[in-house]
Structure 1
Amino acid sequence: MPHKCLFMGTPSLAVSTLKALLDSSHSVLGVVAQPDRPGGRGMKIQSPPTIQLAKKHGLPTFQPENLKDPLFLQTLRTMAPDVIVVAAYGKFIPQVILDLPPKGCINVHPSLLPKYRGAAPINWAIINNDSETGVTTMIVTPKMDAGPLLKQRKTPILPEDTTEILGNRLANIGAELLIETLDELSAGRLHPTPQDESQVILAPPLKKEDGHIDWKKSAPLIIKHIYGMTPWPGAFSFLAGREGVDKIRLKIYSAFRVSGASEVPKPREGTQAVGHKSSNTPGQILNLLPHGIEVASGQGAIILTEVQPEGKRRMDARDFLNGHPVTIGMRFE
């Protein structure tokens, strides 16, 4: 028998799950999301993407500041959902709500639990250079991401996956997995499995300062750092200029590894590459190329291809070089 569902989710990554639920045999009684917040370039008040979608479908919407608000709780009791579906809601859900639906609260979490419990599982899977990740459906409990597992699905992490790219793919996987989970629960074919606490790895929230690149790390790990920090909080470094010239804060969006001398292109006209030496200082600019900036790392070198100076637009490294007096030997810090 199809379930009567209440959906709790806020950002764009939750939209795929809500769409899949709306297209399924299960009914959606309403949508709960975070309150409207300022957003965009003009910082205008905006409704969450899930609320916008819910209104297009004529669904009741709720955006309480406090989930324990008595009127809100009474409304949920009156609606009497069989199950509450949670996808990136953004707050801990109190026990009084967890106890409400007879089939429990089901969370769609973008990692292979118990690995990467927490707010930033997609970022950390990329930053840590994992070869794969996935999505888990689980029963929500008071402890963060610690509830019994229902279903999981894996996906490889591709070389150029940023948090945004991988997040979109996981959102689509999660949407499919949720419907399978609900269908199998309806048929009585699914039984929760406790998580192995000995395998827990946490994925704490990222701060802006976490984006700062450590050039002493190896080239592959720096590239994964860049992609794991994109789009937020953003990987960055400071380019130390000549004496008397302020440092430039540079966001870095894309790069690739230089695996060997045979792969290094010819330098830009009028420049001379430093060359690959074990004595190169991590962060030192080794070469200015037609399509990027070659930088030494703790092991190997990388070529920066897309950057953004503070206060400026995002641009190709070539355009940055055309507008800034960068020279070989300068250092990123």
Structure 2
Amino acid sequence: MRVVFAGTPEVAVVSLDAIAASGHHLVGVVTRPDARVGRGRRLVPSPVAVRAVELGVPVLTPEHPRDPGFAEELAALAPDVCAVVAYGALLPGSVLDLVPHGWINLHFSLLPAYRGAAPVQRAIWAGEELTGATTFRIVKELDAGPTYGVMTQAIGPEETAGGLLATLAEGGAGLLTATLDGIADGSLEARPQPAEGISMAAKLTTEDAHVEWTEPAVAVDRRIRACTPAPGAWTQCGSERVKLGPVKPAVGSPMLAPGELSIGKRDVLVGTGTAPVRLGRVRPSGKKEMAAADWARGVRLESGARFA
């Protein structure tokens, strides 16, 4: 089949490469426009755009898929199907109807659970032990289209959103290409999603990433892992915002008040609503990431100080 691929972040590149290496004909790539990054606010193309150029594939970067010019450019590529992984914009019906076999999305959850922008992050935060990826045909309702295939993946007790997403991206690339194969040879038929078990996974905000030390240690741990690497869990230490990497339970340590610090030579403990946790890596505002004990020593923190 003639395939147009739509995606934007690094996690989508794995699927782009899988399709390029498949028996299908990759005729174009759709991605978000160049974004301004860094202190210099220079324009940088998306990881998918960079890879598409390396592959020698035409790249379309509409400001929005509703743009009339985009529909014309897409139609000129004459795709049989469009494959989507984390594109980052809602597709209007006029564009969905242009493609004979539709737009097939690889979504990183076991649909209908965790529809939306942050399924991996929300699954970790909720304490799920199992997740996966699903391929489905995009319809106007968010992540509600009929499904083609599914893969499952256990969530480890120390899994971060970034690590789990990378694992799902690798396995999901194979699922997506297998789905395209099944559509091409007629062996796959889309099935409606169950009416029960629907849940939503809204994008995590910076405020979501603010650690609440009054929560139980298990909830603190899940929030931080769900927000790693983005948007990045953080806490307030005096007037300074400090980003936090994953923490570990401080088994057998004396109890501390929520947010209270215990500073040792080799570790830093923080009180929660239950047992304390041991900090791992931290990143003070405007500085590089470092071990928590090195940071505490550098800013001359003493036991009894508080995070807020």
Partner of 1:325: 300
Letter of the 2:292 counterpart: A
Query: What are the within-5 Å matches in structure 2 for residues 45-64 of structure 1?
Result: 45-64=43-62
Structure ranking higher in strand proportion: 1
Q: TM-score if structure 2 supplies the norm length? A: 0.95
1:322 offset after TM fit, Å? 1.6
What per-residue deviation string (whole Å, max 9, x for no partner) do you get for residues 66-100 of structure 1? Answer: 32333321232232211111111100001111111
Partner of 2:291: 316
> Which whole-Å CA distance do the structure 2 matches of 1:18 and 1:111 have between them?
19
Does structure 2 retain, via aligned residues, the 8 Å contact 1:33–1:63? yes
> Which whole-Å CA distance do the structure 2 matches of 1:103 and 1:211 have between them?
39
Partner of 1:254: 246
> Which whole-Å CA distance do the structure 2 matches of 1:72 and 1:145 have between them?
22
Partner of 1:267: none
Partner of 1:183: 181
Partner of 1:296: 271
How many residues in Structure 1 have an aligned counterpart in Structure 2? 308
Partner of 1:204: 202
Unaligned runs of 5+ in 2: none
Partner of 1:195: 193
Local SS of the residue matching 1:81: coil
Query: What are the within-5 Å matches in structure 2 for residues 15-164 of structure 1?
Result: 15-40=13-38, 42-164=40-162
Local SS of the residue matching 1:331: coil
Larger radius of gyration: 1
> Which whole-Å CA distance do the structure 2 matches of 1:323 and 1:156 have between them?
39
Does structure 1 retain, via aligned residues, the 8 Å contact 2:65–2:90? no
> Which whole-Å CA distance do the structure 2 matches of 1:71 and 1:304 have between them?
51
Identity of aligned residues (%): 37
> Which whole-Å CA distance do the structure 2 matches of 1:250 and 1:50 have between them?
31
Alpha carbon RMSD of aligned pairs, Å? Answer: 1.5
What per-residue deviation string (whole Å, max 9, x for no partner) do you get for residues 295-322 of structure 1? Answer: 1211111000211122222110121122
Unaligned runs of 5+ in 1: 240-245, 265-274
1:160 offset after TM fit, Å? 2.4
What per-residue deviation string (whole Å, max 9, x for no partner) do you get for residues 232-289 of structure 1? Answer: 11111122xxxxxx43322111210123x2xx5xxxxxxxxxx23xxx421122x323
Correspondence 1:172 to 2:170: yes
Query: What are the within-5 Å matches in structure 2 for residues 234-249 of structure 1?
Result: 234-239=232-237, 246-249=238-241
Local SS of the residue matching 1:29: strand
Partner of 2:226: 228
What per-residue deviation string (whole Å, max 9, x for no partner) do you get for residues 103-123 of structure 1? Answer: 111001111111111111111
Letter of the 1:140 counterpart: I
What per-residue deviation string (whole Å, max 9, x for no partner) do you get for residues 25-66 of structure 1? Answer: 011110011111112454321111111111112111110113
What per-residue deviation string (whole Å, max 9, x for no partner) do you get for residues 198-219 of structure 1? Answer: 2111101111111111112111
Local SS of the residue matching 1:194: coil
> Which whole-Å CA distance do the structure 2 matches of 1:32 and 1:303 have between them?
44
Letter of the 1:282 counterpart: P
Q: TM-score if structure 1 supplies the norm length? A: 0.89
| Bigger shift: residues 318-327 or 3-12 | 318-327
> Which whole-Å CA distance do the structure 2 matches of 1:41 and 1:151 have between them?
42
Does structure 2 retain, via aligned residues, the 8 Å contact 1:291–1:305? no
Letter of the 2:29 counterpart: V
> Which whole-Å CA distance do the structure 2 matches of 1:140 and 1:61 have between them?
21
Deviation beyond 6 Å, 4+ runs, structure 1: none
Letter of the 2:100 counterpart: P
Does structure 2 retain, via aligned residues, the 8 Å contact 1:254–1:307? no
Letter of the 1:12 counterpart: E
> Which whole-Å CA distance do the structure 1 matches of 2:38 and 2:130 have between them?
32
